[in-house]
A = this chain, B = another copy of it.
């Protein structure tokens, strides 16, 4: 059994990690911490776990994190870079669901996240946890930078095209829509039900923190810098990301076959048949990314549709997938539950 700890379990990625790890047959959940709610029963905050999770939130100062095989950070940006090094030095493997180790260019990271980085050396050693790209490196990684939700949907959607060099990477467009849980479980006015329900808006058009992360990933695939216009939107779903991706064709091939081939061996990427329109609910609560490839009216612009559940393949599920790879489990272990539809 893998001994697991969770730091910061009171947000949506925290409770989703709990849901997945409690049901994981090879995991022994040792501790879950919360500075603010130490001592409270986890199931008092999340009654969905009543009768199944007896843990209390523990104070991170006293919790036995060093005795874990792996610790998940489900904390705000800036926490893991402070606390992970001590655990790493103690031999604990770490999966950070926040952004602290995602961007290898420290100056770029500091610009977008507005703080000085506390441990640039671990950034260099971290592995970006997108299994479809880095499966081999993940196996032996000590520190995983779990990808952001938008970056997962957008990169998986563009990847076959960018790797194959068949679209113009200097002018990619990613029009992405996210459910409201993506904003986290924070008491903020703009994500109140009465504000976000029956409403649709773009946000962060001038620049969203996931832009440099996506650009970095796509540049690695392209073997050179890419140009990307990324527009995120808030849509009245609880869960779900839908990325609509536009790229201009530079080389003719069978694009459907390209996608099917690239993802043939991937357990969590489903390339749908031609003319499909993936729905976010078709992946609700599951670790799957569904993709459809379109070429409207046979023109020179490809449209790729890519959907994930932002809390699963976009966060906690992908983190567990990474853990499975790191500890030699079957990759689908604990992640094979069917989507909940309707």
Task: Please list the residues of chain A having a beta carbon within 8 angstroms of any beta carbon in chain B.
Answer: 12, 15, 19, 22-23, 46-52, 171, 173, 175, 177, 179-181, 183, 185-189, 191-203, 205-207, 227, 229-231, 233, 235-240, 242, 244, 246, 248, 270, 272, 275-286, 290, 294, 296-297, 299, 301, 303, 305, 307, 311, 336-342
A236 touches B238 (CB 8 A): no
* Known A48-B283, A200-B237; 7 more pairs at CB < 8 Å: A23-B337, A48-B339, A175-B175, A181-B342, A198-B237, A229-B299, A231-B296
Bound-complex Cα distance A303 to B246 (A): 14
A336 proximity list for chain B (CB < 8 A): 23
**Do A279 and B199 touch (CB < 8 A)?**
yes
Contact across chains for A285 and B340 when beta carbons are under 8 A apart = yes
How many copies of this chain does one complex carry? 4
> Are A194 and B303 neighbours in the complex by a CB distance under 8 Å?
no
CB of A48 within 8 A of CB of B282, answer yes
How far does the alpha carbon of A186 sit from the alpha carbon of B187 in the complex, in Å?
8
What are 30 A-B pairs with beta-carbon distances under 8 A?
A12-B194, A19-B338, A19-B341, A46-B341, A47-B279, A48-B340, A48-B341, A49-B338, A50-B272, A171-B301, A177-B177, A177-B233, A185-B342, A193-B196, A193-B197, A193-B236, A193-B238, A197-B197, A199-B240, A205-B294, A205-B303, A206-B296, A207-B297, A229-B246, A229-B296, A229-B299, A230-B296, A231-B244, A236-B236, A337-B337
Determine whether the beta carbon of A175 is less than 8 Å from that of B290.
no
A12 touches B235 (CB 8 A): no
Q: Is the CB of B272 within 8 A of A47?
A: yes
Partner of A301, one of B51, B195, B197, B229: B229
Cβ distance A327 to chain B, nearest Cβ, rounded Å:
22
Which residues of B have CB within 8 Å of A227? 299
